[in-house]
Structure 1
């Protein structure tokens, strides 16, 4: 059976380098490998360690992601672990995965494309500051292109041992207000802003953990420093490292000015980068020329890198002469502007000037992207983009994605993007370029909406996640350009993505803004089904967060639209949402009636929609379950399972398995229910479905209660609550009704509460949730 990763189980791991003996996959996978290597069965290890076989089995299956220190010590002794291996196992047992490759709820530090050159003393000083006893907030300031981000990443990596709970990375360049910045910080530290303020959720996610949070490009959202201030006040173990062209102006802030490289370091960087474009070239006799070149660009690292790229085409003397002449023309900016920034802009301009017309056009039009694929570049340029993109890469104006990355994107540095966008604006073409960009991603989102229901759904979700920055830019452009209908189309296309990604709050904010910007009649005229589909998506996002009031508003509007429509899908959708709200209200006969009508409507669809039929079959089973028609419910769930399997929808197949297990528990078939739950768990692990994981953990808690194991029931239900809390979702009413039946008699008992405390700790120490 597949084991759960630490992130799936709700823990908060970080990236720490480990050994081959204790590898990826969390404590469960590590324990299984070590036990197998020692030639022990689960029973043999349990006997040696003085533990129950269930404790070993649950750990290996991923139902425990953290172990108590005493349990860890007994297992390490029984496995014969000593020295570093014992220490690494202890780290994994306490929630720290043994490899950078482990799945993490923290946004990891990006891997720099090249080694840091010429900043040894700066790096040592920064690491000393970050690991000092008084460090809380360190801000690297300086102009664009001076290397703040690169130095911050090197420092974060160098002091990893001082932050055992890990390091998170927040990119703020695309954020334009405090709310967006807060969402970015919350996501990076493993929170999902669903209820309460963003600051509260950030602080709750960090808690007392000793961790480092790197916040890059803070200057555009300085007002968001209030979130950091609150976290510094409430979270004693967190240290923030920010990069910004301006100070954050907080009491705890220690400013570190990052300036140009000194002469020796600048020459070192130039030589290193020149060697990558002309391997084997001997520059030992060219020190004076190199020194002149470094001074021409005032020793700014980005400018040096751009200049070094010219070595592929120019002799050093020609490079120096061209730089001197060009920069002399292009540095005549405002006298009160930062001279280094003027020089950097001039260097980018000079590099752009070496491109042909097609290359310059590509630089400008691709600057509106937050990373791009070749397909996206072709849409922006209207032709095969590879020659122009290759020229940008050759000139160090763009960076090629990692060849092994499944969803890699070509990217530009922010300074290059700013330059390109400024040139578009000066030519009066910025709006048109943003239109093409937004239209491309709207079309892609609408095309992928169907793919998220079929085989390949995991890939479709990951593709959307890789382009989330671009999707946000597109939505903002639709808002700014008063294209409300297109904003609504984009929000509607992505509602299932937000469910999968856990971005309920952001998805609901998009719907609210887009619905407010559109008139119902106008939307209806432009796209007869858009208004109904929007209410359907918005209603489900609200429903799954337990916001019944807002879900009822969308359900009522959907019912009104369906009443005046001959569209069977709209009628089925309205019945379904009303039925699920009746289930939430515990109006069980009404729920069963409405969901049965929805299934009948789904069966009338011509042509048939297999996914809608499968979901309606599943929903009808839910109504039958809670009105006592258990045999009929079991048939519905089995039918839905097979329909989803035929579609390749593993996410919903796992849900059908869970629902079928619930019926088996109600009919007293405990062993059958446990087998179905294990099968569901394996499917969720393969699909990285944390939402489904929470539901399966609840189902396993109900099974434990049926087996009269109150302690285990409490632990599993607490773990389910931790995962739901992290995603920002409420327990589905289908499961909540079952929980009242199975767990209600146990709540408050000493055994259940002891298990609850254990499960909460193993799931990530979330203090705010209590048994419901």
Structure 2
């Protein structure tokens, strides 16, 4: 060991050496990316894992540093291990030992929840003027940054060394051609205007900034945007970049951050505030003033600026350009006269000039649904981080806690991540708790106001920022903006055409819509191939208030409602079979407007078409967990004291009674189901009649005592009325219900055979919903004969996640728990059932009648010595994050040996009255949350 310690430590070759510092474990992919980037430049990466091991680690990296030329630091969340006898970690020691004159390239992975000591180290690095400082998010982005930064560094060093060897022959002190003002072409020609202009400007031989506003607060949540814009600027190919977004979105703050960080390759960064410039003719003079160029008056000002700044790389930031948008042509002329300049523009509208590259400034990242998220998940969201930062500025005692995190998260979600709105709300923390503030956000505009006198008047309230943008619109665009106040959420072009038909100002509807998009009052995106438009909440609130005051508002609302009645008719046939997924997404896209339309039409007594539309979308409400909401609409219709058509009454009574079958409560009254059955038969609605027969069959099987003979006859009639060719999904669901009834009658093999047939048909037709619930039913049937098949429930879980079907997720977790019970894994049983409990709390179907299948398995455990361990595991599962619960559920387990049936197997008890998954008939629905992506936490 002594001999090894005395030997010099060498890298594999003697090329230019780049030392890479990071924690090894958490940044392994990033280290691989860094190594590849360095080797692409034919440089030598100096990395701990590449070194010889006879040397102690500390001696190894110190020796490597002594022989390295460039220091690359890659940091994320952890400070690193502190060795015995040391005061700092190896990560910090490496940075401290790097020579001061060694170039240091520092890269920070985002997002991050950093160790306190790492934050302290980064603070010192920020103050080190020998280090660059760049955020990144992926290993691919890191590789690109390292490649570009090392190439730039090498080029600069080459220029500097050449300048030192050849003197000032055409290369200035900063290593840039033409850096000295006297060597420029204008000075050589003796142009008096250029000489006058040069006399008043800053010395261009040194890089600098001019009048960049000093931010009063830290920029929160914009690291990725800053990195992207700096990358665009660094390439030099983009000469005019426009940051576009609505008022309050943070365009100016982002531009300030980019301007402060730009540095090389620019000689100078100049910030030109245009908020008080109202005449487009004053734009060029404002730029000249900030550049220190005096207007001699004998040439166009753009030419004078070109002469004064010849040979200099300028970054010119033009802030608040929307009010002088017609000056875009002057800026383009200036681009021609300043061939080495780049413009960074902030505007609520695009400039629409050649060569413009638009950067859409989006709202800050939102927290997950607080009903399902942990405090940690909420606290890392950019919108929440901004709220907490600004709240602490208003009240230093404020902390994000388990008690207030729900309110803060809901505020940020209600404000849709708009930075100005969040800042204004957070400033109210001295007077309102988050919960109290949330209660006032139904009408948010009066709350969102600041008294700060250094804020421009147009930004002191959200309302002022939006109205500022509206004032800049053409009369046609202002009229369209007001008309769009009829919409409650995202809306399609078809919907816009419907509500603007025959409006005299809508002759060029697409052009007028584009003006609103360009003015950042509308956002446009695609969903399932359908172009959709949306407004941020503060914008929509103003549009809605103006629309309500319109004399024709009632007529437009009716047109709006009729459009969504037509949409229901168009999508209905697509909800079955292979087109199901696309149809669900199409309805999801305009769900808020569908709800608003149906509620309005009911309020104006147009109940018959609403009932028909709701019935058309039955599968949507079922899959998306909205059956209870649709039931409430039907109850409103029944209680409205209106004359109803027979079909309307059949639908309303059917809905209310069928959904009640899967809800907690006393034994179901089959009378309304019988009535709806008679009405469906009378009006000739065969699908409705089949559904009523199935619901009545389930009710008979669930009665005390069960009437299985009548249930069997009813279900067979239901199967005869609907063909798989006409209604493949419903035919399969009714057959599935017959399988559940067969199981209840004690024919386990017969039930499994039925489920296999349904599964085959569902897979052939591409019906994911039918496949999902039939897998669960098949799994329970096999458990009834002592055969544990966790693979069936795992696939059921995967498909339920694909459908965002929370109730299906709960059934799958319960099935997997039952399989674990057969295998004797008490801890797994408890955790999975605890996680299922949490999902059911969220769906609001705790204690539903169909949710009884797993109970025999639990009762056996509770009667055993494992009861205490089971209860502890179940409590753990209830508090587990959604991701952790799903990872556990989907982890492979050893197959269980065949065992005796774990639960009752008598004719009336095999799997529960409504079938194993409770999803074999409309009344035993498998609801889902509206949008419950698998990455969101269960809690």
| Cα deviation digits, residues 259-318 of structure 1 (max 9, x gap) | 37645x53xxxxxxxxxxxxxxxxxxxxxxxxxxxxxx7555668766xxxxxxxxxxxx
Offset, 1:243: 8.8
Distance 1:19 1:242 in 2: 38
Residue in 1 that maps onto 2:860: 745
Distance 1:572 1:162 in 2: 44
> Are 1:377 and 2:496 matched, yes or no?
yes
Distance 1:429 1:168 in 2: 46
Offset, 1:637: 0.9
Residue in 1 that maps onto 2:146: none
Q: 1:764 aligns with which of 870, 879, 882?
A: 879
Q: 2:645 aligns with which of 518, 523, 528?
A: 523
Residue in 1 that maps onto 2:700: 582
Could you tell me whether the CA contact under 8 Å between 1:657 and 1:676 is conserved in 2? yes
> Are 1:535 and 2:653 matched, yes or no?
yes
Q: Which runs of 5+ in 1 are unaligned?
A: 1-17, 24-81, 92-98, 101-108, 121-152, 172-205, 220-231, 249-254, 267-296, 307-343, 767-771
Residue in 2 that maps onto 1:213: 409
Q: 2:635 aligns with which of 496, 512, 515?
A: 512
Return the index of the structure with the highest Cα Rg. 2
Q: 1:569 aligns with which of 678, 687, 700?
A: 687
**Aligned-residue CA RMSD in angstroms?**
5.0
Residue in 2 that maps onto 1:166: 378
Distance 1:681 1:245 in 2: 37
> Are 1:594 and 2:705 matched, yes or no?
no
More helix per residue: 1 or 2? Answer: 1
Distance 1:601 1:245 in 2: 49
User: Compared with structure 1, are the counterparts of its residues 261 and 368 closer, same or farther at alpha carbon in structure 2 (3 Å cutoff)?
Assistant: farther
Could you tell me whether the CA contact under 8 Å between 1:542 and 1:548 is conserved in 2? no
| Cα deviation digits, residues 684-704 of structure 1 (max 9, x gap) | 233332211111222222222
Distance 1:458 1:731 in 2: 29
Offset, 1:417: 5.0
Offset, 1:433: 0.8
Residue in 1 that maps onto 2:747: 629
User: Compared with structure 1, are the counterparts of its residues 695 and 413 closer, same or farther at alpha carbon in structure 2 (3 Å cutoff)?
Assistant: closer
Residue in 2 that maps onto 1:355: 475
Offset, 1:624: 0.9
Could you tell me whether the CA contact under 8 Å between 1:532 and 1:562 is conserved in 2? yes
Residue in 2 that maps onto 1:125: none
Q: 1:116 aligns with which of 250, 258, 263?
A: 250
Residue in 2 that maps onto 1:64: none
In the TM superposition, 1:61-460 aligns within 5 A as 115-116=249-250, 163-166=375-378, 212-215=408-411, 242=438, 244=440, 258-259=449-450, 262=453, 265-266=455-456, 300=460, 344=467, 347=468, 350-352=471-473, 354-356=474-476, 359-370=477-488, 371-382=490-501, 385-396=509-520, 398-402=521-525, 409-412=532-535, 417=540, 428-460=551-583
Residue in 2 that maps onto 1:678: 794
Offset, 1:493: 4.0
Question: Which is worse superposed, 418-427 or 676-685?
Answer: 418-427
SS in 2 for 1:166: helix
Distance 1:475 1:452 in 2: 19
SS in 2 for 1:657: helix
Offset, 1:648: 1.9
Offset, 1:765: 6.6
Offset, 1:634: 1.2
Distance 2:443 2:485 in 1: 27
Offset, 1:430: 1.0
Could you tell me whether the CA contact under 8 Å between 2:470 and 2:478 is conserved in 1? no
Could you tell me whether the CA contact under 8 Å between 1:22 and 1:89 is conserved in 2? no
Distance 1:168 1:493 in 2: 42
Residue in 2 that maps onto 1:699: 815
Question: Which is worse superposed, 654-663 or 484-493?
Answer: 484-493
Distance 1:246 1:610 in 2: 43
User: Compared with structure 1, are the counterparts of its residues 575 and 403 closer, same or farther at alpha carbon in structure 2 (3 Å cutoff)?
Assistant: closer
Q: 2:591 aligns with which of 453, 468, 483?
A: 468
Residue in 2 that maps onto 1:104: none
Distance 1:599 1:578 in 2: 12
The TM-score, its normalising length taken from structure 2, stands at 0.46
User: Compared with structure 1, are the counterparts of its residues 410 and 208 closer, same or farther at alpha carbon in structure 2 (3 Å cutoff)?
Assistant: closer
Distance 1:567 1:373 in 2: 32
Q: 1:643 aligns with which of 758, 761, 764?
A: 761
User: Compared with structure 1, are the counterparts of its residues 425 and 702 closer, same or farther at alpha carbon in structure 2 (3 Å cutoff)?
Assistant: closer
Distance 1:522 1:443 in 2: 21
SS in 1 for 2:409: strand
In the TM superposition, 1:602-613 aligns within 5 A as 602-605=719-722, 608-613=726-731
Distance 2:780 2:413 in 1: 49
Offset, 1:753: 4.4
Offset, 1:213: 3.1
Distance 2:621 2:634 in 1: 12
Offset, 1:724: 1.6
Q: 1:714 aligns with which of 830, 836, 842?
A: 830
Offset, 1:434: 0.6
User: Compared with structure 1, are the counterparts of its residues 575 and 685 closer, same or farther at alpha carbon in structure 2 (3 Å cutoff)?
Assistant: same
User: Compared with structure 1, are the counterparts of its residues 731 and 455 closer, same or farther at alpha carbon in structure 2 (3 Å cutoff)?
Assistant: farther
Residue in 2 that maps onto 1:620: 738
Distance 1:262 1:482 in 2: 51
SS in 2 for 1:522: coil
Could you tell me whether the CA contact under 8 Å between 1:603 and 1:613 is conserved in 2? no
Offset, 1:562: 4.3
SS in 2 for 1:213: helix
Offset, 1:734: 5.5
User: Compared with structure 1, are the counterparts of its residues 761 and 443 closer, same or farther at alpha carbon in structure 2 (3 Å cutoff)?
Assistant: farther
Higher relative contact order (CA 8 A, sep 6+): 1
Offset, 1:631: 1.7
Offset, 1:664: 1.7
| Cα deviation digits, residues 503-523 of structure 1 (max 9, x gap) | 45433322211222264x632
| Count of aligned pairs | 506
Distance 2:879 2:733 in 1: 33
User: Compared with structure 1, are the counterparts of its residues 603 and 506 closer, same or farther at alpha carbon in structure 2 (3 Å cutoff)?
Assistant: closer
Could you tell me whether the CA contact under 8 Å between 2:414 and 2:537 is conserved in 1? no
Offset, 1:489: 3.4
Q: Which runs of 5+ in 2 are unaligned?
A: 1-24, 31-90, 93-107, 116-136, 139-220, 226-244, 255-362, 384-401, 416-428, 502-506, 882-911, 913-939
Offset, 1:387: 1.8
Distance 1:595 1:650 in 2: 27
Distance 1:455 1:246 in 2: 40
Could you tell me whether the CA contact under 8 Å between 2:564 and 2:597 is conserved in 1? yes
SS in 2 for 1:378: helix
Could you tell me whether the CA contact under 8 Å between 2:701 and 2:711 is conserved in 1? no
Could you tell me whether the CA contact under 8 Å between 1:544 and 1:730 is conserved in 2? no
Offset, 1:750: 4.2
Could you tell me whether the CA contact under 8 Å between 2:752 and 2:781 is conserved in 1? yes
Residue in 2 that maps onto 1:662: 780
